[in-house]
Amino acid sequence: MNFKKLSDKTHGLRTDEQLAVGENPFSTNKVTGHSLNYPIAATCSPTKVCVRTCYFGSGPSTWTAALRKQWRLYHSTVADPRGTAARIADWAGRLKLTYVRWNGGGDLFPESVEAINRVATLRPRLPQWVVTRLPGLAVGINPAANVYVHCSIDRHSWGRAAPMLAYGGSWFWSYQCDAGEVPLAGTAPVIFYDHYRPGKNPITADDCPLNAADDISGVCTKCRRCFNGEAVSRAAELLPSLKSRLDSLPHPRDTAADCSGTPTE
């Protein structure tokens, strides 16, 4: 299912319901185990590459029950960010999670930023791994020792990284290859090939291990690079090349202006 079909299906299943009393806010998936998934139709600002490569557009995350749960979590977060944060912190303990993955699907919105800040405070030793294509909202996440902001970039969206340069917390960018694209060395601290398939291209230290995995189950739990500081350290090494790339863009600030949450493409 491509992004548009998934977005249409998600819109069609929209419910105003919130999570039921006692309901687990987490969803499960093969790669990260547990994650907090929000409806793409309400939260994503997709790039052209997202539209073509969205990994959330296939499998169980597109099933009706999963989409309805995404809406329930979304409405709970909008209605009561602090209460939802308390629920997330509680369930993270019950499930014995060793990290919280935000936006397994979907993206940030103002109330989820508030919830992230609250969960990070309630669980100060639990890594919060926040994946986003909306740096304009991500800069509202409070810097904290247990929070890692992961800004996802592709060939059409380098300018979206610009707001992050002023961010005071731990952050890094990953690079999502388009179909058939081979990234240059040092493009990003974490690189994803299209559908995790590098073909005959050599795997480098910056490649996400999913690119070489025969079985993607539980790979993030073993790797942890995105939420143990390794990707953040590598980002510091690559920052000069990111800055020069942004300087070379014709209108980097204009490109960054589309990152506040409004779908643009």
- Name residues whose C-beta falls within 8 Å of residue 180's C-beta, 6 or more positions apart in sequence: 194
Piece of 73-81, 160-168, 204-212, 235-243 that binds ligand SF4 (CB under 6 A): 204-212
Piece of 66-74, 141-149, 161-169, 224-232 that binds ligand SF4 (CB under 6 A): 224-232
C-beta separation of 19 from 87 below 8 A = yes
Q: Does 229 bind ligand SF4 (CB under 6 A)?
A: no
Select the residue interacting with ligand SF4 from 41, 130, 188, 190 (CB under 6 A): 190
DSSP-derived secondary structure for 3-66: HHHHHHHHHHT-----PPTT----EEETTTEEEEE--HHHH----HHHHHH-GGGSSGGGSHHH
Q: Does 108 bind ligand SF4 (CB under 6 A)?
A: no
Select the residue interacting with ligand SF4 from 41, 49, 89, 226 (CB under 6 A): 226
Q: Does 208 bind ligand SF4 (CB under 6 A)?
A: yes
Residue whose CB is less far from ligand SF4, 201 or 264 = 201
CB of 199 to ligand SF4, least distance (A): 18
Q: Does 119 bind ligand SF4 (CB under 6 A)?
A: no
C-beta separation of 176 from 162 below 8 A = no
Joined together, the tokens standing for residue 48 give 């052209």
C-beta separation of 128 from 99 below 8 A = yes
Piece of 37-45, 77-85, 194-202, 206-214 that binds ligand SF4 (CB under 6 A): 206-214
C-beta separation of 198 from 211 below 8 A = yes
Q: Provide the binding-site residues for ligand SF4, judged by CB under 6 A.
A: 190, 208-210, 219-220, 223-226
